[in-house]
Amino acid sequence: MYINLGDAVLTYVVSFTYLGVVVASDLRWNLHTNAITAKAGRTLNLIRRNLYRCPLGIKSLAYTTLVRPLLEYASAAWDPFTGRNIKDIEMVQRRAARFVTKEYGYETSVSRLVSDLGWRTLQSRRQGARLAMFHKAQSGWPGLSDIVSGLRRQSRPTRSSSDAACTYSRLQSRTDCYKFSFLPRTITDWNSRSAAVRGQRSLASFRKSLESCPVGASRY
């Protein structure tokens, strides 16, 4: 099947990389996850070869500045929902935790290593990125306010609450691809937060509230 756009013929492709994000024809994130984990894995291997004898703090800083951003670029848009994709992404961080701490024992709890290093799970960080984007949209950031302009609010601000503390009606969906896309998924996460968290005026205070009052993300 071909579609004409003026004199040009648009051919069908399985995927297309747009602004660094691999968008697949089935609207799933397997290809993008494979691409970013492969790239992050190569960068982590480079760090391991060159910084093996460095102190823990240096290795941790190298991971958080050179590897983790590769796994989180534009994650608010593509945050995956399948266990496979979530696990594949987390495995890069778990490998990094072993490298940073030099703990390679079979019985070592890697989850404990990640926690001791003060790293949040990448799934939790992606959820925070989505909520931060929603907060920006609701606060009227240029180019983002249209995201919430058509949404129906369930509650109205009162003297004791701010406009930002409102909840929104959930969006109905028939497919997982839409159910777990940005708006339906983030509205559910937003409504699950307390009014005190939702009502934070500044983005910095909102982010801080998210970290201090986490809502558990599903484990892979």
pLDDT at 77: 94
Other Cβ atoms less than 10 A from the Cβ of 67: the count is 23
Co-location of 169 and 110 in the same domain: no
Other Cβ atoms less than 10 A from the Cβ of 109: the count is 11
Co-location of 177 and 78 in the same domain: no
Structural domain that includes position 97 = 3-119
Co-location of 24 and 106 in the same domain: yes
pLDDT at 220: 40
By residue count, the chain amounts to 220
pLDDT at 7: 84
Task: Compute mean pLDDT per 10 residues along the chain, 220 residues long, and list them.
Answer: 79 91 94 98 97 96 98 96 97 98 93 96 96 93 89 69 75 92 95 91 92 58
pLDDT at 168: 92
pLDDT at 218: 45
pTM of the model: 0.86
- CB neighbour list of residue 104: distance below 8 Å, 6 or more residues apart: 98
Co-location of 115 and 130 in the same domain: no
* Domain stop point among 119, 147, 172: 119
* Domain stop point among 78, 95, 119: 119
| Torsional sign, CA 160, 164, 165, 170 | positive
Looking from the CA of 78 toward its CB, the CA atoms found within 13 Å total: 26
pLDDT at 191: 93
* SS3 state of residue 35: helix
Q: Give the Cα separation of 114 and 58 in Å (integer).
A: 16
Q: What does the radius of gyration of the chain's CA atoms come to, in whole angstroms?
A: 20
The answer to whether the CB of 64 falls within 8 A of the CB of 94 is no
